[in-house]
Amino acid sequence: MSEFVRICSQSEIPAANQVKEFMVSGRAVCVANVNGTVGVLNGECPHEGGPLGEGSIEDGRLVCPWHSYSYDVRTGESEQDPALKAEVYPSAVENGELRAKI
């Protein structure tokens, strides 16, 4: 069963409209801040495995650096292909830490 695990300290959360990658238990996790809405996603793009944590925020969506597929950070839904969905983890800031259920 998944548990909430520490992703980073609250001070390490990316600024508005920024993205950052963190390694958690040997896997890449993407933290994206879209206008103050922070999403924690699987760091691997479902399109072709690109590093979402190295992506960017454009028009309020997380954009993969490899092929520009974009995702909603709350739902993981892709504009380009409705069959693709980035995995979004439930997350919360608790006691000065960003934690997610992965």
What's the CATH number where 59 sits? Answer: 2.102.10.10
Q: Which two tokens stand for residue 94?
A: 């608790």
Task: Tell me whether residue 95 is in a domain.
Answer: no
Q: Which pLDDT score is estimated for 69?
A: 97
Task: Tell me whether residue 51 is in a domain.
Answer: yes
In this prediction, what percent of the chain has a pLDDT beyond 70?
98
Q: Which pLDDT score is estimated for 51?
A: 98
Predicted model pTM:
0.94
User: Alpha-carbon dihedral of residues 58, 13, 25, 70, nearest 10 degrees?
Assistant: -10
Name residues whose C-beta falls within 8 Å of residue 15's C-beta, 6 or more positions apart in sequence: 33
Q: Which pLDDT score is estimated for 1?
A: 47
Task: Tell me whether residue 23 is in a domain.
Answer: yes
Task: Tell me whether residue 101 is in a domain.
Answer: no
Task: Tell me whether residue 9 is in a domain.
Answer: yes
Q: Which two tokens stand for residue 31?
A: 């933290």
Task: Tell me whether residue 96 is in a domain.
Answer: no
Q: Which pLDDT score is estimated for 65?
A: 98
Q: Which pLDDT score is estimated for 101?
A: 96
Tens-place pLDDT, residues 41-87 = 999 999 999 999 999 999 999 999 999 999 999 999 999 999 999 99
Say whether pLDDT at 34 is over 50: yes
Provide the residue range defining the domain that includes 32: 4-90
Domain count, the chain: 1
Q: Enter the DSSP assignment of 65.
A: T
Task: Tell me whether residue 40 is in a domain.
Answer: yes
